[in-house]
Amino acid sequence: MRIVPARDGGLCRIRLASGELSAAQARVVAHASRTFGSGLIDLTNRANLQIRGVGEDSREALVSLLVDAGLGPVTPGSDDQRNVMSSPLAGLDSHAALDVAPLVSTLLGQMQRDARLNQLSPKFALMVDGGERLAMLDHPHDVWLSAVSAERFVFGLAGCPPRFENDAPALAAVKTGHVPALVDALLHTFLDLAQPWQTRMRDLLTTCSIEEILRLVQEKLGFALDREVEDWRRPASDARLRFGVHRQGTSDSVCVGAQVPLGRLDAAALSSLADLAPRLRMTPWQSVMLLDVSSAEAQAVTEQLASLGLATTPDEPFARLIACTGSQGCAKSFADTKADAHLLAQSMPPAGDVHLSGCARSCAAAHRVENTLIAVAPGRYDLYGEAPEPLARHLTIEQAAHWLARSHFDA
């Protein structure tokens, strides 16, 4: 496991299969954060966790503790190959085509045991979609796979599953049992073709056509790709389903979802979440879902989540705010975005999503957000909507709140 430097100390990313960890593992992460870090834990937009403020002399002990808890890679050096995202409701949504959790587990094991794949960038990412009603479909992935049925998957490169008429179509389809071989062929073909500067699939596509990539992939496979899939479109996802109480598959249990304010927990709050459910799932919206909750206790659990400061409905201010680490933890940030977001939450209009970014990189949101505030100086932001040009420049948070309110009521 790698620990990378940040302004507030070492940053240890904990990659979670399907975003999930047990209550016991959550307590280990909380303990590790208190003992070896600053006591702050971030949820990421890839449904992982980050322990912040790790001391230089604590790194070995921290990694050892996490690995012993089953939170490390299968083989040394393969931690960065655990970038496979799935729905927070994988295996729990009766409307899905199939439970993709076993397939995700197979792919993660396969990728970690292939030493050549250690050459992939830590940002090289896959998505496995089972057709759940809740799924992050706006993040571009190097390879995406979506279930058409329990027996068949379609896939694409450097993008997202198509949902609308003008979206780039799926490239081909394979049987579900052939997905591991397909992924292996795709990843090795990428490494065969990519130049050192081409770390992502989108980079490779600037010099190599999709047809050429598929031709080389087909040569590695013992079965034919089905190219008759251009009309397929992925059903819509409803991001609001990450909130509230939902039936957990066909069981009597329920899952309960809530938004972590600005994607940050302290160790005490994570320990408290572990006391509420035997399993937790982090989501790409930097929220959390508690699994295997008794339906009789669902209301009490929801109230406890609210008492911890989590947003339990989609209309609350912190359900609609995203903020990056900001200048307290990132040297590239021009502003303390977390503090400014807390200030903005006090005067948010009753609707609309807002993303505060400390610089133009927009690390906290890999998808388009309705309103984006990009910092240009401490406490000052340029406001962007859908157009590439800013709606207003050099706003204070108070002025930004006024603009957002005016835009809401004008609409």
DSSP string, 138-207: SS-EEEEEEEEETTEEEEEEEE----STTSPPP-EEEEGGGHHHHHHHHHHHHHHH--TT--SHHHHTTT
Picking from 384, 383, 385, the residue whose alpha carbon sits closest to that of residue 399 is 383
Q: Average pLDDT for residues 108-115, to the nearest whole number?
A: 96
Residue type, 135: A
242 and 339, same domain (yes or no): no
Domain end call among 283, 318, 353: 318
Q: Say how far apart CA 221 and CA 95 lie, in whole Å.
A: 31
Give the pLDDT band of residue 389 (cuts 50, 70, 90): very high
Number of separate domains in the chain: 3
Is residue 86 assigned to a domain? no
Name the nearest CA neighbour of 135 among 107, 111, 163, 156. 163
Token pair of 377 as six digits: 């100086």
CA 381 to chain centre: 25
| Domain presence at residue 232 | no
Does residue 272 carry a pLDDT above 90? Answer: yes
Helix runs in 222-376, H state only: 267-274, 298-307, 337-345
How many other C-beta atoms lie within 10 A of the C-beta of residue 191?
A: 12
Measure Cα distances from 290 to 7, 255, 349 in Å.
32, 5, 29
| pLDDT for 229 | 94
CA distance 411 to 409: 5
Cβ atoms of 26 and 270 within 8 Å: the answer is yes
292 lies in some domain: yes
Domain of 41? 3-78+237-318
In this structure, the answer to whether residues 356 and 295 fall within a common structural domain is no
Residue whose C-alpha is closest to residue 93's, from 285, 213, 237, 226 = 237
CB atoms under 10 Å from CB of 56, counted, come to 9
Q: Are 132 and 93 in contact (CB under 8 A)?
A: yes
- pLDDT tens digits along 209-246: 999 999 999 999 999 999 999 899 999 999 999 999 99
With 60 as the cut, is the pLDDT of residue 410 above it?
no
Q: Do the domain assignments include residue 30?
A: yes
Q: Are residues 327 and 277 in the same domain?
A: no
Same domain for 141 and 67?
Answer: no
Tell if the pTM clears 0.85, that is, is over it.
yes
Distance between CA atoms of 320 and 115, rounded to whole angstroms? 41
Structure tokens at 325: 């680490």
Scored b (16 or more CB within 10 A) or e, 234-252 reads beebebebbbbbbebeeee
Could you tell me the CATH number of the domain that includes residue 179?
3.30.413.10
CA proximity to 13, closest of 27, 23, 31, 1: 1
Amino acid at 112: Q
pLDDT at 387: 86
Which of 220, 247, 279 lies at the terminal end of a domain, its last residue? Answer: 220
Give residue 189's pLDDT band: very low, low, confident or very high (50, 70, 90): very high
Query: What mean pLDDT is predicted for residues 109-125?
Result: 95
Query: Do 281 and 288 meet the contact criterion of CB atoms below 8 Å apart?
Result: yes
**214 and 247 fall within a common domain:** no
Q: Does position 411 have pLDDT exceeding 70, yes or no? A: no
For the segment 79-93, the average pLDDT, to the nearest whole number, is 93
Q: Are residues 293 and 375 in the same domain?
A: no
Q: How far is CA 72 from CA 172, 196, 384, in A?
A: 33, 27, 39
